[in-house]
A and B are shown apart, each in its own frame.
Chain A
């Protein structure tokens, strides 16, 4: 946002708006290449967990070091609490997917509070949408494999629904499960990270504008305290966003497991 705002002419424009709202979330190109920095960050969100996992698990020490403890804790948590804890019997098959989703989203989210990056790649719709579609395909596939074509009838008309209500319930279930579910899963992650990113950007950009922005130099003395107040609030929100980043990775993984569980064990 600061990058986008720096191109504005504050003196002559009352409202400064970029040509395309997307540019607020774009990170610019990487050097002179066509690969944007967002794409580089997406690849980094894969490379960083892979490197961490490699260095954490390569020694396979019986007595773990710090990095190994961290990686093992994450793996054990996702496996025991989400894959086996939520899905239950048969959940171990989905452990690699759930661990990958958790690690990938977590690193992507934490870019929001990573100094000098401050841009969560999950605040771009591509990643949440892709991951939610993968989850969607998995839970549909598992459901069809478990129950066959009856999966859809059971999904639309759960057992015990009165005949008179079947059209209504069927329509609600069709929309909520088959249409809205993947979208809501993606938007939940995306919206949280966008909101956090915008909030942090506004607070820190406000601080920046009030204290540093050239062209308002005559007001700098009187406005600097306001900028510092925004900066302080921005730092507090920074801590909050750190929690949000971890929580949203957990929620996405947990909901993926819940959806798979409903297909794998429809009796529940």
Chain B
């Protein structure tokens, strides 16, 4: 065991050259300088400008799309307003048509009623006139018959009466008739 420990300590003492690890190897330093210079110049001259350009392009695109969306929205709102106005006008139009229809129907009804009334009046008038004519005819016929009867009676009475009495009677009769 002691042998191993001694050997280990001796080896550890020899390996104190581990501090070498903290000293950079010249060739690696050169490689590092070259490598980092490549990365730095690439980022500085190409990558970062390319990314900034991409981001600017994206910002412009997004702004454009936002503006387009706003414009589309405003157009849609305008169309909606027009549509609403159209719908509202359509309601008014329908109401107007209904009103006109109602008015036409009322007028038609009025006309029909007026016509019916006129026809009814005409019928009544005609009936009245017919009735009057009939009445007149009947009256005339009656008068004629009455006259015939009267003449017949008067002839019968007259045949039994004097001429003066006949004459008086005829005058009286005529007077009563009137």
Interface residues of chain A, those whose CB is within 8 Å of chain B, are: 14-15, 17, 20-22, 25, 35-36, 38-39, 42-43, 45-47, 49-50, 53-54, 57-58, 60-62, 64, 68, 71-72, 75, 95-97, 99-100, 103-104, 124-127, 129-131, 134, 187, 190, 194
Candidates A15, A72, A97; contact of B51 at CB < 8 Å:
A72
Given the known interface contacts A20-B17, A38-B28, A100-B36, the answer about A60 and B53 at a Cβ–Cβ threshold of 8 Å is yes
Interface residues of B (CB under 8 A from A): 4, 7-8, 11, 14-15, 17-18, 20-25, 27-29, 31-36, 38-40, 42-44, 46-48, 50-51, 53-55, 57-58, 61
A60 to B36, CA, bound (A): 24
Q: Which residues of A lie under 8 Å from residue B21 when comparing CB positions?
A: 21-22, 25, 125, 194
Alpha-carbon distance between A17 and B18 when the two chains are bound, in angstroms: 12
Pair A53/B42 contact, Cβ less than 8 Å: yes
Given contacts A46-B38, A100-B36, 7 further A-B contacts (CB under 8 A): A43-B31, A49-B39, A57-B50, A62-B57, A100-B40, A104-B39, A126-B28
Given contacts A15-B8, A103-B43, contact A62 B61 (CB under 8 A): yes
A104 proximity list for chain B (CB < 8 A): 35-36, 39
- Kindly state the separation between the CA atoms of A71 and B11 in the bound complex, as whole angstroms: 48
> What's the nearest-Cβ distance from chain B to residue A60, in Å?
4
Interface SS of chain A: helix
Of the candidates A42, A60, A61, A124, which one forms a contact with B35 in the assembled complex, judged by CB atoms under 8 Å apart? A42
Q: Is A46 in contact with B35, judged by CB distance below 8 angstroms?
A: yes
